[in-house]
Structure 1
C-alpha cells in the first residue's frame, strides 16, 4: 500500500474524531492558535514541494513552515534533510558522488531530482523548489515560518544573513508580510537565530527546542527572541504561562493526533505546527 493511500485514511480519521478542532483565524475561532502547516501539508503531499504548499494554502492554513538550505552555487532552497537520499532519487541520478549533502549540489543539479516519487508515484517528477518560489506560491495570503537549517556544515557560513537579504530583496514583501502578521523565522541554533535577528530585527524570531527550556534559558531568550517553539510533548500549562509572562509566543511541534491538538489548543498555545492542517481548519 502506497504512502498516500495510508495518509488518506489517517486524514479521514482526524477529520471524523476532531470536528471541534477548527481553531485558526479565518478558518476557525478568532481566538484559537494559528494553524502552521509543517513543510506544507506534508501529510497528504511530499514535504516542502509545490503540491504540499498549494494544499496548505487551499486548506487555509495560517502559516506554512519551510526549511532553508543553500546550494553549492548560493541559491536558497526549501529542503529539510541535510542529505538528499531520503526524499529524492539522487543516488540513481548521480551515482557514486562523494557527498549527497544539499550544499554539495548546484541549483541546476538539484532541479533535475525527483522529490515526489518517494511519497507516491502520483507525485513523480516534483522538483525541489527555492525559497522565492515558496513565497510566490503563498501569494501574499498565507504566512511563512522559515526555519534556518541546523545542519552543522552551515555553521558560520552566513546562512541566516543570506536569508535576511533574500527576504529583503523581494520588493515590498517584508513590510506587507509583517503588516499582516505573516512572517517569522525560527532555528534550533541560538547563534543562527541571533545572527538573523541582528540582520533583520523587525522579523519575529523563534527558538526551536526538542527539550523543555529552563528558566534561565527563557529569561535570556526574552531579552531578544519573540517565540519559544518547543516539541509539544514537553509543553504544559506552566511553560506556556511562563513564556507568555515573559512577553513571547509559543508554537508547538509536530502535533498530528487529534487529542494532542485539542490539548494544546485548550492550554493556550499561540500556534500548532502540524502535518495535517486540514484537521484543524476543516478545509480540504
Structure 2
C-alpha cells in the first residue's frame, strides 16, 4: 500500500430495448459503492491525469515519476507540436498557464505553442508555477516522455490535443511511438491507448495503425455509439455526463478489435464519486489524485489494475 503522504519525490438517455435493458438491470440499481456480495468486481484502471498532477507540475517528467512512486501504472498526457515540428507534452494550446513564457518572451503574446520553436520552449520553467520545490522542471518532448515512461515500466493514455491545429500530427506521433518501441505487438496489446476529442483524428490513427487501441473523448448519444465503435475501443466521458445506463449501452457494443467497448471517465478526484462510477461500470478512472482514488477503489473491492508498481 503506498504512503498517503509524499515528499517532493514525493441526457437523460433513452433506455435501450432488449439486451441493454437486461444488462442495466443490475447496474442501474447501484448508487453502488461496492460490488454485490459474493461477486468479483471487474478491475478498474486508475490513470494519473497529466501525471500525478495534484502534487507535481502537470505533463512533466517529475509528474510521471511521482505517479510511479505512488504505485500507479497508467499515466495520461497531452501532445502538441512546436513551430519547428517537435512533438511536445503540453495541455493548453498556449504556454502561459504552466510556464514562465510571459517573463521570458514578454512580447510574444498570446504565447501559442505552435508559435515557438523547441529550442525556445526548452528554455521555459514548467514547474515553478506549482511551487518553488518544482522550479526548473521543463516541458518534455514526446521522445523524452516516452523514455521516462519506459524506464518506469508505466503504461500510457496519450491524448492528441487539438489535432485541428496540427495537420498530420497523427502520423508523426505514431512514428515517434514506433521509434521508441511503443508500437511493438506487446506494447500495443498491453500498455497504450491513443485518445482525442477529435473523431477524425482517431479515424486517422485507426486507419494508419488499426492495431492501436483508441479512445474517443466525449459522451455521444446512445444512438450514435455504433458509429464510434467502428474506430474507437473506448468512449471516455466526463464523469458528470454518464450514468449506469450509459455505461451499459457502451458495454453492449464491440469496438473495432472485436472486444467489449470500454469507458474511462474523467476527471474524478473525489473518492466517493470514483467508487460510485466504478459501481456503475466505469472501466477506468482518470484523476489528478491517483493515489487517493486507487486506494479508495481498492478498499471498495474493485480490484484496481495499475496499483502497486512501486512494490515490485
TM-score, normalising length: structure 2: 0.77
Residue 139 of structure 1 corresponds to 150
Deviation at 1:151, TM superposition (A): 6.0
Correspondence for 2:108 among 78, 97, 101: 97
Alpha-carbon distance between aligned partners in 2 of 1:241 and 1:189, rounded to the nearest angstrom = 24
Q: Deviations over 1:64-104 (max 9, x none)?
A: 10001011111111100010111111011011115411111
Does 1:59 find its partner at 2:66?
no
Does 1:35 find its partner at 2:63?
no
Structure with higher RCO (Cα < 8 A, 6+ apart) = 2
Correspondence for 1:251 among 244, 254, 264: 264
Segments of 5+ residues of structure 1 without an aligned counterpart are 1-6, 9-20, 24-28
Deviation at 1:159, TM superposition (A): 1.0
Deviation at 1:162, TM superposition (A): 1.2
Residue 14 of structure 1 corresponds to none
Correspondence for 1:124 among 135, 140, 156: 135
Residue 22 of structure 2 corresponds to none
Q: Deviations over 1:128-185 (max 9, x none)?
A: 001122221122621111000126422xx11112111211222465333124x11010
Correspondence for 2:248 among 241, 257, 260: 241
How is 1:72-111 mapped onto 2 (pairs within 5 angstroms)? 72-111=83-122
The list of structure 1 runs, each at least 4 consecutive aligned residues, that deviate by more than 4 angstroms after superposition, is none
Residue 17 of structure 1 corresponds to none
Does 1:214 find its partner at 2:221?
yes
Segments of 5+ residues of structure 2 without an aligned counterpart are 7-32, 255-260, 296-307
Deviation at 1:63, TM superposition (A): 1.1
SS state at 2:263 partner: strand
Deviation at 1:60, TM superposition (A): 2.1
Quick one: structure 1 residues 172 and 149, their matched pair in 2 at CA, closer, same or farther if it must change by over 3 Å? Answer: closer
SS state at 1:54 partner: helix
SS state at 1:118 partner: helix
Deviation at 1:109, TM superposition (A): 0.7
Query: Is the contact made by 1:167 and 1:174 (CA closer than 8 Å) also made in structure 2?
Result: no
Bigger Rg, which one:
2
TM-score, normalising length: structure 1: 0.84
Correspondence for 1:167 among 149, 172, 177: 177
Residue 262 of structure 1 corresponds to 275
Alpha-carbon distance between aligned partners in 2 of 1:122 and 1:172, rounded to the nearest angstrom = 32
Alpha-carbon distance between aligned partners in 1 of 2:78 and 2:191, rounded to the nearest angstrom = 16
Residue 18 of structure 1 corresponds to none
Alpha-carbon distance between aligned partners in 1 of 2:247 and 2:176, rounded to the nearest angstrom = 32
The CA RMSD measured in Å over matched residues stands at 2.3
Q: Deviations over 1:12-59 (max 9, x none)?
A: xxxxxxxxx9x9xxxxx9832101000000010010011111011122
Alpha-carbon distance between aligned partners in 2 of 1:30 and 1:111, rounded to the nearest angstrom = 45
Does 1:276 find its partner at 2:275?
no
Answer with 274-283 or 263-272: which moved more: 274-283
